[in-house]
Every structure is written in C-alpha cells, then in structure tokens.
Amino acid sequence: MLICLAQKYRCGSVAASPFSDGDLLGKFYITTPIYYVNDKPHIGHAYTTIAADVLARWHRLRGDDVFFLTGTDEHGEKIAAAAQKAGKTPKEFVDSIVPAFKNVWQKLDISNDFFIRTTDEQHERIVPLVIDKIAKSGDIYKGMYTGWYCVPDESFWTELQLVDGKCPECHREVKLVQEESYFFRLSRYQDKLLQFYKTHPGFLSPKYRSKEIINRVKDGLKDLSITRTTLKWGVAFPQDKKHVLYVWVEALCNYITALDYPDGQKFKTFWPADVHLVGKEINWFHSVIWPAMLFSAGIEPPKMVFAHGWWTMDGQKMSKSLGNVVDPIEMADKYSVDAFRYALLREMPLGDDGDFSEKTMVTRLNNELAAELGNLLNRTLTIAERYEGKVAGKPELSEALDVKKIDSLMEGLDTFGALNEIFAFIKAANKYVNDKEPWKLKGDELGHVLYNLLEATRIIGILVTPFMPGTGEKIAAQLGVPQGTLGDCKFGAFAGKPKKGELLFKKFVNASGKTHAH
Ligand code: MSP
C-alpha cells in the first residue's frame, strides 16, 4: 500500500503518478472567483476561467481526481442597483444574466465540474451553518458601523483610505454608511495568519505578491463589519434576521457550499482547495479574510491563493466608458477558441500584468499556431501519406522533450513556462524535418524519420490538449490514435493510422489580404 507522503494530496484515491517515481496522484480542487452578474462576461473573466480550466485539464491528464468550480456572485447592493435600473426584480435580473456566463464557458471549452450560483438553495442553506460556527467561536459581536462604501466594488473604506474622497481602488464615488452592524473579530487572527503564512510558504502565491499581504497584516487588522440592515438582497444573518450578510462574507463561502459542507462526500474528498485562482485586486479577501473566517469556523484553510495579474487593452485599462472591453465570444469567433485560449496564456506568466492586442493575437495565430504547430502536423502527415513501409526506428527527438519538467512547471502554475517548453519541442521537431530532409530519403531511413515525427506529434497533441482541447483532439484524430494521458507522453511504438485532415489553424488574413489584424 502506498503511504501518503506529502500533505499535498489527500490519501484515499492515491495511485502512482505517470512518472512512477514516488510522486503520488490524488485530488485537485481548483476554483475561480464567482463573477458578479451585473455585466456580461469579458476577457478578464475569460482569462481566469481559461487558466483554471487549463490547470484542471492538466491534472485530469495526470490522472488526478479533479473538481473545478466556477460560478456567479448574485447578491449585494451592486446587483440590486443593476436590477432596479433594468426594471426587474433582483432574481429576475440575475436569472437573465447567468445564461450569458454559462454560454461563454461552453463556447470557450471550459470543463467546470459544477457551476455555483449564490442564489442556489444549497448555498443559501449552507452559508448560515458557516456563520453559526463563527458565532459559536465568539467571533461575532454587535456594533455600529461608520464608513465609506464603494457600491461597484462592494468594498468598505475608512476616511483615511479614500483618495480625493473617492474609492482608492476604482476611483468612483463612495457613500457614507452609518448603521448598526455585526462585526467579525478579524483582529483576533493577525498572529495566527502571520504564523500560517510562515508555515505554509506556498499559500500566498505568486511569492512576489506575498510581501504586500504580509506587511498589511503586520500593520494590524480591523474587525470587519459583516451585516447590513439597509440591504435586503442577500442571505439573512442567522443570529438576527433583520440583518443581511455582507456580500463578500457570503460569497467566499461558495467554495465550500458547492461541496455540500459539512457532510457532503465532495467536501470530504476535495476540501481543502488546492488553488483559489483570483485576480490580484481580490487577493486580500481570499488571503486574509477567508482563511480567518475558516480558522474561526474550525475549517482547514485552502492550500493556495494564487493572485494573477490584470489585462489592459492596447495599453489602456478596459472600461465600458472607453468602449474597449474585449468580448471573448467575438475573439473566439474571429480567431478560433483555441487560438484565443492560447494567446491569453502565451502572453505572460500567470502572475504578471499583460496587454492584449489583436495584432499580437494574429501574430501568434499565424506564426506559432499555423506556421509551427499546424505545419508540423501537416508536414508529418504529408510524408506519412506517401510512405508505405515500416514506421520504426530509434527515438531521436525524445531528447528534446522533458515531460517531467513540464509537469512540475504546471504543478507550480507556471503555464507560461510549460508552453515555452512545449513550443520549444515543436520547434525542435520542425528543425528535425529541415535537417533530415525526408523528401530526399527512402525506405528504412524515411521510416525512421517518420517514426520520430509521428511520435513527436502524438505527444505534442497530448501536451497541448489542456491549453487547446479542440486542437489536441484534431491531432489525435489525424494521427489515428486515441487521445492519450500524460503517462502516454513517451516515445514507444507508433500504432496509429494517420490520415491528413483539415489544417489545424488557418492564418488570419484581413480584408486587405494582410496577415495582421488592422
Ligand atoms: N464577485 C467577486 C468575486 C467573489 S469570489 C468569492 C468579483 N467579481 S468580478 O466579476 O468583479 O470578477 C473579478 C475577477 O475577474 C478578477 O478577480 C479576475 O479574476 C477577473 N478579471 C476581471 N477583470 C480583469 C482584467 N482586466 N484582467 C484580468 N482579470 C480580471 O470580484
């Protein structure tokens, strides 16, 4: 029997990894933020969800038991205001927007295992159980709240934090709120959090963002106002039903309500989450408030909060007023789903900020996807079509590939580094074609080169699948092999029945016949 060596994976569903060297398989629970439904999904939402999807798919490829959660955040003042503006009740309003999120995820090949809505009966029923636990720990008391509230961000600020009297985060108007409120004793968790960060160095990720959080926590934590009496659209505070829970406190609970906390099998199998993937602007809620709530409720905290960077568009912040908000459906229709997924993850490491431009997107599509990846498959299949002998030989190209390294990059959420490795291998395979000049070869010599190319493209097909699921499928279909797992990413005997199909990627040509966007 295998022993659970690391705390990293839960025992129970343990099996040998594809590399069978003591590395163990297990479960992998990854989440995205639940998105506000006051607006339709844009490239920022798509980025987080695609990145989480790639990681979830990678872990499935390894053989891990994966649970991938996304969903929508539907309560709070912001949504109530948007509903009123649309002349609908809040529930009618959220019901009318949620399909847009579900559709976009389907369109972008997102493989979430569950979609949580904070208006789900399950969520509304379980949140009070969590709050009860916190109350039983003596961490909730009644007080008077005075502060500045930014409705669009659903965030509270002190007078000192305001910049020119406006929200320091989004620079919009804030309003003065003064009312009776219940407070969560966040201040009690300062030492415990600092200790936790120290003993769990991977929790605050990426590392270069951890300092900011640690310093802020060291500066001191103020108790958090967690209820409102002025707002009706939310989950009632179980200890005093005149009050409604502050939307952030309720929303954070989605990560466990979706698993049927406390007794559900999913909770037992998948909690604690392996990764909460979030944008950097909501890092504080996930890295400080959420673990403090969990400590108080006696629930294990997640293993990692990874705060990724932000996209700008052609160098500018995306905003409705600038009219430069990128619609993911439009991008996928114009350039293909896989080219869009690829372009987002190829641009920069997950933690960094990046700038999106259609011009770069087209360059990547034309050069990296069509001219390198697509061409490699095309050349390989062209040779296969005109060769009738035995496909066999020594694996030469295998030296240019280190699957274990790619796997460990992915384990560390380095999707950028992993893509670099995969595309370096694609380049090496194309160079191999150029160097070997198979069009000049015959017989066994040609069979040998072809063997290397077929095995290389088969393995590339597997490795790109999490990033570009449709492309992985097409490669396997054209090579006439079943879709493999990570364990199949080694050179063996090629047993496929290759048949050339459609080109994997078409170069983008604009109306004037140029291969760029503008
Ligand atoms: N509802 C809260 C989250 C609650 S989680 C318990 C929320 N929703 S949101 O709709 O505003 O989504 C914010 C998230 O969308 C960011 O954290 C990030 O994941 C993604 N992005 C939104 N705009 C973005 C960019 N411009 N660039 C990258 N990602 C961004 O906050």
- pTM: predicted TM-score of the whole model, two decimal places: 0.92
For residues 177 and 150, the answer to whether their CB atoms sit within 8 Å is no
CA separation for the pair 290, 62 (Å, rounded): 30
44 CA distance to ligand 1 centroid (A)?
7
Checking 493-498 for CB contacts under 8 A at 24+ apart, the result is 493/392, 494/391, 494/392, 494/451, 494/454, 494/455, 494/458, 496/454, 496/458, 498/380, 498/381, 498/384, 498/385, 498/454
For residues 207 and 172, the answer to whether their CB atoms sit within 8 Å is no
Nearest to 287 by CA among 304, 272, 270: 304
279 CA distance to ligand 1 centroid (A)?
6
Find residue 175's DSSP bridge partners.
Answer: 149
Percent of the chain with pLDDT over 90: 83
Atom of ligand 1 nearest to the CA of 277: 19
What strands, in cross-sheet order, belong to the sheet with 305-308? 114-117, 65-73, 27-36, 275-279, 305-308, 204-205
Among 17-21, 86-90, 147-151, top mean pLDDT goes to 86-90
Higher pLDDT, 118 or 78: 118
For residues 480 and 473, the answer to whether their CB atoms sit within 8 Å is no
pLDDT in tens, 334-391: 999 999 999 999 999 999 999 999 999 999 999 999 999 999 999 999 999 999 899 9
pLDDT in tens, 411-423: 999 999 999 999 9
Alpha carbon 477 to chain centroid, angstroms? 27
CA separation for the pair 343, 358 (Å, rounded): 10
CA separation for the pair 243, 101 (Å, rounded): 30
Nearest to 332 by CA among 226, 469, 171: 469
469 CA distance to ligand 1 centroid (A)?
24
Q: Taking CA 61 as the corner, what is the angle to CA 58 and CA 65, rounded to the nearest 5 degrees?
A: 90
309 CA distance to ligand 1 centroid (A)?
11
310 lines ligand 1 (CB under 6 A): yes
Q: Are strands 305-308 and 275-279 parallel, antiparallel or unpaired?
A: parallel
Nearest CA to ligand 1 atom 9: 35
CA separation for the pair 247, 240 (Å, rounded): 16
286 CA distance to ligand 1 centroid (A)?
12
- Return the best residue to mutate from 75, 172, 278, 356 for the ligand 1 pocket (most ligand atoms within 8 A of CB): 278
Q: Are strands 175-184 and 140-150 parallel, antiparallel or unpaired?
A: antiparallel
Helix (H), strand (E), coil (C) string for 333-376: HHHCHHHHHHHHHHHCCCCCCEEECHHHHHHHHHHHHHHHHHHH
Q: At 25, is the pLDDT very low, low, confident or very high (cuts 50, 70, 90)?
A: low
72 lines ligand 1 (CB under 6 A): no
Q: At 16, is the pLDDT very low, low, confident or very high (cuts 50, 70, 90)?
A: low
301 lines ligand 1 (CB under 6 A): no
Question: What pLDDT is recorded for position 140?
Answer: 98
Rounded mean pLDDT of the chain? 92
Question: What pLDDT is recorded for position 12?
Answer: 34
For residues 54 and 466, the answer to whether their CB atoms sit within 8 Å is yes
Atom of ligand 1 nearest to the CA of 281: 17
CA separation for the pair 441, 429 (Å, rounded): 17
128 lines ligand 1 (CB under 6 A): no
Question: What pLDDT is recorded for position 205?
Answer: 97
328 lines ligand 1 (CB under 6 A): no
